[in-house]
Structure formats: C-alpha cells, structure tokens
C-alpha cells in the first residue's frame, strides 16, 4: 500500500532518478546479522514480494526509472540493493560484505553494474576494503557521508574519496539497531538531510550539526520504524507510513512524504532505501 501523506502543492523540485532493485523472490530470515533479525518469527515471502512491488510501483508513479537485478537462490538479503555498491558520475564502486552470509552478493552486483555502466573496466572499481555500498555511503550534493562502526571499514572511506574525487565525511555509528548509515540518516536534497542524533558518536553529531545546522531531527520512535531509511527525489520522500512524526516534519519543510508499507522486509532490518540503489549518471 502506498499513501500520499502530504497532498497538495510543493515548491520543491523533483529530479528524475534511476534506481536498481532486486525482487525478494528468495527472501527469508534464516540467520541473524543485525538486531532486527529473529529467525523464530518467520516470514511471509509472498507479502514481501507484494510490498516490494508496491514500492517499485511508487517509484514509477513518481517518474523514476527502475531497473532490476535477477535474484539468486541462497541469497535472501539480495533484495537490499542499496548495499550492492555506489554509483556516482556513471562510475561504480563495488561492495565487499562484512558478513559471510552476504559475501556472494558483492560479485553479483558488481557484474551487473559493469554491464550497466558499460564504459570499460576503468568505470567499475572492485573494492579492497570491506564496505556495504549505499548502506554506508550517502551522497549529499558534492559530499559523500560515510558510515562506520558496524559494517563498513574506515579504509573504504579513503577508497571512495580516491575513486570519485569527492570529499568524504566519516561518521561513527554507535547503536547496533542502526547498523548502516542509511538506517540513521536520510538525504532529502543536495543540501538537506534528516537524521537521528543518538545513533551517532558525540564527535559525529558535532560534525553533522556543523554541516547541516537546519537538518530535520528524527525522534527514536520514527527512527525505530526505519523512517530514515527513506528515498527522496528532492520533492517526494518515500518512507514508512509508520513514521508519522517524521512525515509531519517533512511536510513542514515543503516536502511531499509518500508512505509505503515494508513491514515484512523490516523483519530483516530493511526499508525503502535498503531496497534501492541509485544509479547516478
């Protein structure tokens, strides 16, 4: 189900986006690599697929182009496409996963990105350091915000800066519930973000205050609904319907929140952004 949470006009401008997604045909929770995953709860794969299809349809209705990577048996978390790499200026940097359960996803995504970028090996970079793609790398204008603490090695931050020639700002995550940067911080536009301060170390909180003094600050309830695992085109912000307080703050900033239900994928600690890798030309 998709819900337009802020009907009416907005002065903000949407920019056309291009996304990569992977259908959750093999989704299930059979191991626990983050605090959200409980193998005793069970999962409904058909429901996960329906919710994912609704998310894809939402993007299409907002004018985005959505490409898909075929899922592979035995990789139940492959639906979380954001972790598969980082694409900026038509160049792709691959992922090298922290947990053994997900390591085979890295080559699968890199092979797809090599075909999509289609400009020779110099446009596709295989990583040396452990990193989980856009799970821990978020692009804000010319900056790359880079998370560490649970998954991505700080050495990958330096790799990304060398690959893309953009300033990389390292941020330390301290709450295991927010194990990736994209669970604790959402990019709203080229100069605007929303985040949950308590997910970050004191020093990282200070950095965020300096860089984004007018940022939207989410409360714990909205953060725990993975409200910050959101996708914005600069005008519309796709986020969980449960993140009502955050939606209200976005509405006050003249964004248009668009609610989606990804409750089944939340059982694995994923939301809209986790399912979505942006392909930046």
For the chain, the structural domain boundaries read 14-278
69 has a pLDDT exceeding 50: yes
Q: Is the pLDDT of residue 263 over 60?
A: yes
* Continuous segment of H or E residues that includes residue 240: strand 236-240
C-beta separation of 241 from 3 below 8 A: yes
Q: How far apart are CA 108 and CA 126, in angstroms?
A: 12
Would you state the CATH architecture of domain 14-278?
5-stranded Propeller (3.75)
Share of the chain above pLDDT 70, in %: 95
Determine how β-strand 124-125 pairs with β-strand 91-94.
Answer: parallel
pLDDT for residue 6 is more than 60? no
Structure confidence at residue 220 (pLDDT): 98
Return the DSSP state at 83: G
pLDDT, mean of residues 236-245: 98
Encode pLDDT of 136-150 as tens digits. Answer: 999 999 999 999 999
What would the 3-class secondary structure string for 134-202 be?
Answer: HHCEEEECCEEEEEECCCCCHHHHHHHHHHHCCCEEEEEECCCCCCCHHHCEEEEECCEEEECHHHECH
- Average pLDDT (166-182) is 98
Contact criterion met (CB below 8 Å) for 212 and 190:
no
Tokens of 137: 């790398």
- What's the pTM value of the predicted model, to 2 decimals? 0.94
State yes or no: pLDDT of 119 exceeds 80: no
In angstroms, what is the C-alpha Rg of the chain? 17
In 30-163, the DSSP E strands lie at 65-68, 85-88, 91-94, 124-125, 137-140, 143-148
Cα-based distances in Å from 262 to 68, 148, 173: 18, 25, 24
pLDDT digits (tens, 9 = 90+) for 82-114: 999 999 999 999 999 999 999 999 999 999 999
Least confident span in 4-8, 71-75, 160-164, 228-232? 4-8
With a cut of 70, say whether residue 25 has pLDDT above it: yes
Q: Give the pLDDT mean for 189-194.
A: 97
The answer on pLDDT for 81 being more than 60 is yes
**Residue numbers annotated as active site:** 180, 274
pLDDT at position 156? 98
Q: What is the pLDDT of residue 10?
A: 72
Average pLDDT estimate for 36-50: 96
Percent of the residues in the chain that have a pLDDT greater than 90, as a whole number? 92
pLDDT in tens, 123-137: 899 999 999 999 999
Q: 199, 197, 138: which is closest to 170 by C-alpha?
A: 138
> Does the structure show a pLDDT above 90 at 7?
no
Residue 196 makes CB contacts below 8 A (sequence gap 6+) with 178, 184, 185, 217, 218, 219, 220, 222, 223, 228
**Mean per-residue pLDDT, 146-162:** 98
Average pLDDT over residues 147-176: 98
Residue 42, C-beta contacts closer than 8 angstroms, at least 6 positions apart: 29
């Amino acid at each position: 189900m998709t819900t337009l949470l802020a009907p009416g006009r907005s002065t903000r401008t949407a920019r056309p986006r291009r996304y990569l997604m992977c259908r959750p045909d093999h989704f299930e929770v059979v191991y626990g690599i983050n605090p959200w995953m409980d193998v005793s709860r069970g999962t409904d794969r058909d429901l996960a697929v329906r919710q994912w299809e609704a998310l894809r349809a939402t993007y299409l209705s907002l004018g985005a182009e959505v490409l898909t990577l075929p899922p592979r048996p035995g990789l139940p978390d492959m639906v979380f496409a954001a972790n598969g790499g980082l694409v900026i200026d038509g160049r792709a940097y691959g992922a090298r996963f922290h947990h053994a359960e997900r390591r085979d996803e890295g080559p699968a995504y890199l092979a797809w990105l090599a075909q999509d970028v289609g400009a020779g090996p110099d446009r596709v970079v295989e990583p040396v350091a452990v990193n989980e793609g856009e799970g821990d790398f978020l692009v804000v204008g010319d900056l790359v915000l880079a998370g560490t603490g649970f998954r991505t090695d700080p050495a990958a931050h330096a790799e990304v800066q060398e690959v893309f020639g953009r300033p990389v700002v390292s941020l330390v995550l301290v709450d295991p519930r927010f194990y990736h940067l994209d669970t604790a911080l959402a990019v709203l536009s080229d100069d605007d973000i929303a985040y949950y301060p308590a997910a970050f170390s004191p020093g990282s909180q200070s950095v965020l205050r300096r860089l984004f003094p007018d940022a939207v600050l989410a409360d714990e309830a909205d953060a725990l609904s993975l409200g910050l695992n959101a996708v914005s085109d600069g005008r519309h912000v796709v986020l969980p319907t449960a993140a009502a307080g955050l939606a209200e703050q976005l509405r006050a900033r003249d964004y248009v929140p668009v609610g989606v239900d990804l409750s089944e994928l939340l059982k694995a600690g994923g939301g809209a952004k986790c399912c979505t890798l942006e392909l930046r030309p």
